[in-house]
Amino acid sequence: MTQASSFHADIVVAGTGIVGLAAALALSRGGARVGLLGPRPALPAPEPGLYDPRVYALSPASRQLLAELGIWEALPEDRITGVRAMEILGDRPAWGDRPGHLGLSAWQAGSDYLAWIVESRELERVLRQAVQWSGVRWTTEDFVGLEWLPGASGMVLRTSGGQSLQTLLAVAADGADSRLRQAAQVSATRSDYGATGVVVHLDAELPHQECACQWFSDDGVLALLPMPDTDAGPQVSMVWSMHRAQARALFALPEQERAATLEARLDAVTRGRLGRLRVRSPLFGFPLMLQHASPLASRGVVLVGDAAHVVHPLAGQGLNLGLGDVQALADVLGGREPFRAIDDPRLLRRYERARAEPLLAMRVVTDGLFHLFGTRAAPVAWLRNAGLDVVDRLPLLKRLLVNGASGT
């Protein structure tokens, strides 16, 4: 291997999605020499009135991290929508009782917004621009192999183009099927929910008033997120955690019939909350699962984002958890003692401890809610609807929920 086909770094981040880009940027801001490994596919230019089907609800904590990295102010303001309130509605019990209701608002947490809806494509675009000017060396090849150096700290990452990237610390940010995690022989436990996340943008008849709505029904968990208004009027982004058989049948329909069928189901579940809802973009689907890896750090390989954990999207916290990983890792490495090496196992255990509680809490909450509202037995339906109503009448408990949901 020639010198031209290799380089040395303190940290190499494998994975070039939002979490990987943010990790490379945050760690380089801490003074480390950072390499980034992974492809750089072309991003389509933004068009007025057309939006990326993938959107994220960023918490105040995630927004703060992006602001500190110089990312937030660079995002196009007219493509961001703040969420001032949330409405959570239960299902309708078999004997005709009304569905449960829980309303949460930003003022209960003493803030202007609970979250901000941002397109994946715009986040990636701005993060790439920042990484380009940060001094991070980006190798646009795939990770194919890992070798630990004998008798010394550090490792070598092999790439599809034959390069060798020598580093003290490797950060796996390469997704749920992380190759780097597998190469490091870190196990991951996965459970299939038997459901598909169906996403699409919708035209709404009534204004969304910066409110996110969520319904728990026999058809799964439906979320409508506020988006920037278009020339046609109000717009919302739909994420429907639909039973896999129903999703498969929906996608099997011809395009026009598919849209009509989806619109009829939406009208039945939302009961006119936003008036008539009409499909305005192609439908996409992705399988839903619960996954967590352990340990989060092993022999100098650290897991972040989907490589470390995947939760049900009903709480909209997947990306927020990943950015929380980035913040915690940057804090731990940036706050280490002068005598401690960047790959010191004691240091990496601090990262694991810092993430243990929030990851466990989110995993328990999202998995528990999915199974609770997936049970169709009438007594359970009555109890969960009653529970939503009780919480809705307890201001202190609602404030705790708002603070947890917003990451404050």
pLDDT in tens, 51-82: 999 999 999 999 999 999 999 999 999 999 99
249, 258 contact by CB (below 8 A): no
Buried b (16+ CB within 10 A) or exposed e, 288-322: bebbbbebbbbbbbbbbbbbbbbbbbbbbbbbbbb
CATH number for position 401: 3.30.9.10
Neighbours of 74 (CB within 10 A): 14
CATH number for position 301: 3.50.50.60
Q: Which residues contact 382 (CB under 8 A, 6 or more apart)?
A: 93, 97
pLDDT at 120 over 50: yes
Residues 110 and 183 occupy one common structural domain? no
Confidence grade of residue 231 (pLDDT, cut at 50, 70, 90) = confident
Tokens 């967590």 correspond to 292
User: Ranked by mean pLDDT, which of 90-99, 108-117, 215-224, 265-274 comes out on top?
Assistant: 265-274
Residues 172 and 298 occupy one common structural domain? yes
Domain count, the chain: 2
pLDDT at position 68, please? 96
53, 341 contact by CB (below 8 A): no
Residues 205 and 323 occupy one common structural domain? no
Please name which of 288, 293, 295 lies closest in space to residue 188, comparing C-alpha atoms: 293
Residues 402 and 264 occupy one common structural domain? yes
Domain containing 92 equals 55-121+193-288+373-406
377, 379, 382, 383: CA torsion to nearest 10: -110
105 falls within a domain: yes
Residues 199 and 325 occupy one common structural domain? no
* 3-class SS of residue 367: helix
* 3-class SS of residue 203: strand
Confidence grade of residue 255 (pLDDT, cut at 50, 70, 90) = very high
Residues 136 and 256 occupy one common structural domain? no
pLDDT at 87 over 90: no
| 324 alpha carbon, distance to own chain's centre | 11
Q: Which residues contact 281 (CB under 8 A, 6 or more apart)?
A: 50, 51, 53, 200, 201
48 falls within a domain: no
pLDDT at position 302, please? 98
Residues 138 and 245 occupy one common structural domain? no
pLDDT at position 91, please? 60
Confidence grade of residue 207 (pLDDT, cut at 50, 70, 90) = very high
Confidence grade of residue 109 (pLDDT, cut at 50, 70, 90) = low
Residues 284 and 295 occupy one common structural domain? no
75 falls within a domain: yes
Residues 117 and 78 occupy one common structural domain? yes
Residues 282 and 212 occupy one common structural domain? yes
pLDDT at 94 over 60: no
Q: At what angle do helices 345-374 and 378-392 cross, to 10 degrees?
A: 120
pLDDT at position 394, please? 42
pLDDT at 399 over 60: no
DSSP state, residue 99: P
Confidence grade of residue 204 (pLDDT, cut at 50, 70, 90) = very high
**CA neighbours closer than 13 Å in the CB half-sphere of residue 386:** 6
